[in-house]
Structure 1
């Protein structure tokens, strides 16, 4: 089948209706009603899948051969309520909670960053409080946005308040730009987060940083949440809240590859907004970052 034809699944993988028998499941959450500036991330999962068709099985840079040892399929999209954010959050939590009955690791195509809260709610029912590696231009620790407690900018404050995170094992990478107060980045640090701003990452490889990150998060369960706006808009313009001075696509690869050896229980790639991604480059980068997440999951062997 030509790569431009056939069913539009992630990386042209089999489409499945159940996680039974799977080690890893790709899932889409087409949500954008939690976003605060540009909309359009509801089309993110479809665009990421479309741009994933060129991804081949073997990772020539790292030697990872994920399909040699893991059963992987695309479970399609969560049927969110496009008119009600809180109901959508409930639906997402229930969908991921159902996965807990199976030994499957979910990798999620977003969707705005609101989706990580219900995913964490579901996964912590199985694993308890988890560590977090969070790549983003923003800390997403607002107390509220326009009076609303659940939005894409308040995800990780709610996660802390609900006891979903092991705060001493939380790392944030790539934060930058401006704030409403001088202490906007401080809230998470006060909870125990380690914060590495974009400026701390300029002009250097992030491979050494990831050695420090692995030491921080340790051997416990950890979740990887990658907001595509952590990458500079020169490489990833198709997102809702772009900020200049961000990470490069190469640094993004270094971050994900640097998670090898961790006890990853899931991951997501969020905030791809195709209406602002006319070339498809943002979705293509998102698809490749998700593939790299697959390549560092427990059980993946190298060739």
Structure 2
């Protein structure tokens, strides 16, 4: 950006429970002449196989994001909204009755808001939405490396004969040539499966997996190193299903699996991925009807903020200094 970014309204000026209903109270897409990163909501859950409700995810994550103090990300040493123009691009009006129609609408909307070098961070919606988002990314960057945080592989062929569900997006993406072979990885996978052929098929697509049980053994640092070694300098798309977390940390989701990551582990992994050629990301499967005290929504909002911060770091030659007046936002303090 050639002009100073329009930043979110500070919680020291307007209380965080008031003001705009955008993500982190960012400006809307039509309030600035240009932007670098757009946060887009995709309220669609027509591909859900168990508990529905992720269509309400974008609204809940935006509401929870009011709690953030987004001026400065301490661990990533970046003030993302000072150096990068980020906007809230609103929601895709995805057809709730036709998966195929919705996929087309999502892809077209993603194309419209992410051209000319802009990046997109999407809030779902169920994981079906990752397919049109990958199609859009591939139209701009060619095939990409995929780092996929999830309890499930999401490389099934069909479910009850349906080829497009929240369990199939990455098989379809592989078949369509959207992914770089031998550059894709799942992290946090766990739980029983229908058949061992699911694992064999997944490996045949070029995926490798860090299961949740393996993470218990090797730790976050080694897992992050595996991810970095896997993707190298390829353009990377991050797809984060909130059910990668244990239900204790993310109860508000459609297909919870016990034995998952802690929220601290997920954040540590993400914050270890600085330097990757990140070109886009999504956070999906927040179903607020099953949430308690906004636990899941607040976690997802924090993850979205981390993704924006990663993109901002990649777009600046050096990290900015901390806030000029730290007394206004004391570490760990209020407001």
Name the SS of the counterpart of 2:40 in structure 1: strand
Q: Could you tell me which of 96, 110, 113 is aligned with 2:124?
A: 110
Give 2:20's aligned residue: 7
| Closer, same or farther: CA 154–19 of 1 in aligned 2, 3 Å | farther
Kept after mapping to 2: 8 A contact 1:28/1:78? yes
| Closer, same or farther: CA 37–18 of 1 in aligned 2, 3 Å | farther
Give 2:197's aligned residue: 183
Provide the C-alpha distance between the structure 2 equivalents of 1:135 and 1:81, rounded to a whole number of angstroms.
27
Q: Could you tell me which of 39, 46, 53 is aligned with 1:26?
A: 39
Name the SS of the counterpart of 2:180 in structure 1: strand
1:199-214 equivalences in 2 (<5 Å): 199-202=213-216, 205-214=219-228
1:215-242 CA distance string (max 9 Å, x none): 2101121100000000000100000000
| Closer, same or farther: CA 21–79 of 1 in aligned 2, 3 Å | same
1:143-170 CA distance string (max 9 Å, x none): 0001000000000000000000002110
Kept after mapping to 2: 8 A contact 1:238/1:273? yes
Give 2:309's aligned residue: 295
Q: CA RMSD in A?
A: 1.4
Name the SS of the counterpart of 1:195 in structure 2: strand
Give 2:5's aligned residue: none
Q: Could you tell me which of 165, 169, 174 is aligned with 2:179?
A: 165
Kept after mapping to 2: 8 A contact 1:267/1:293? yes
Kept after mapping to 2: 8 A contact 1:3/1:53? yes
Which structure 2 segments of 5+ residues have no match? 1-13, 322-335
1:223-263 CA distance string (max 9 Å, x none): 00000000000100000000000111111102211221011
Provide the C-alpha distance between the structure 1 equivalents of 2:300 and 2:67, rounded to a whole number of angstroms.
13
Kept after mapping to 1: 8 A contact 2:237/2:278? yes
- Per the TM alignment, residue 186 of structure 1 is displaced from its structure 2 partner at its CA by 2.6
Could you tell me the TM-score, scaled by structure 2's length? 0.87
Give 1:224's aligned residue: 238
- Per the TM alignment, residue 55 of structure 1 is displaced from its structure 2 partner at its CA by 1.4
Q: Could you tell me which of 60, 71, 92 is aligned with 2:85?
A: 71
Provide the C-alpha distance between the structure 1 equivalents of 2:252 and 2:149, rounded to a whole number of angstroms.
16
Provide the C-alpha distance between the structure 2 equivalents of 1:287 and 1:207, rounded to a whole number of angstroms.
24
Kept after mapping to 2: 8 A contact 1:20/1:102? no
Provide the C-alpha distance between the structure 1 equivalents of 2:280 and 2:32, rounded to a whole number of angstroms.
14
Provide the C-alpha distance between the structure 1 equivalents of 2:95 and 2:202, rounded to a whole number of angstroms.
30
Count the aligned residue pairs: 303
Provide the C-alpha distance between the structure 2 equivalents of 1:19 and 1:277, rounded to a whole number of angstroms.
34
Could you tell me the TM-score, scaled by structure 1's length? 0.96
Kept after mapping to 2: 8 A contact 1:34/1:151? yes
Provide the C-alpha distance between the structure 1 equivalents of 2:222 and 2:306, rounded to a whole number of angstroms.
18
Kept after mapping to 2: 8 A contact 1:40/1:275? yes
Q: Could you tell me which of 16, 32, 51 is aligned with 1:38?
A: 51
Give 1:243's aligned residue: 257
Give 1:55's aligned residue: 68
Pick the structure with greater CA Rg: 2
- Per the TM alignment, residue 102 of structure 1 is displaced from its structure 2 partner at its CA by 2.2
Q: Which 4+ runs in 1 deviate beyond 3 A? A: 17-20
Name the SS of the counterpart of 2:89 in structure 1: strand
Kept after mapping to 2: 8 A contact 1:135/1:226? yes
Does residue 119 of the first structure (1) align with residue 138 of the second (2)? no
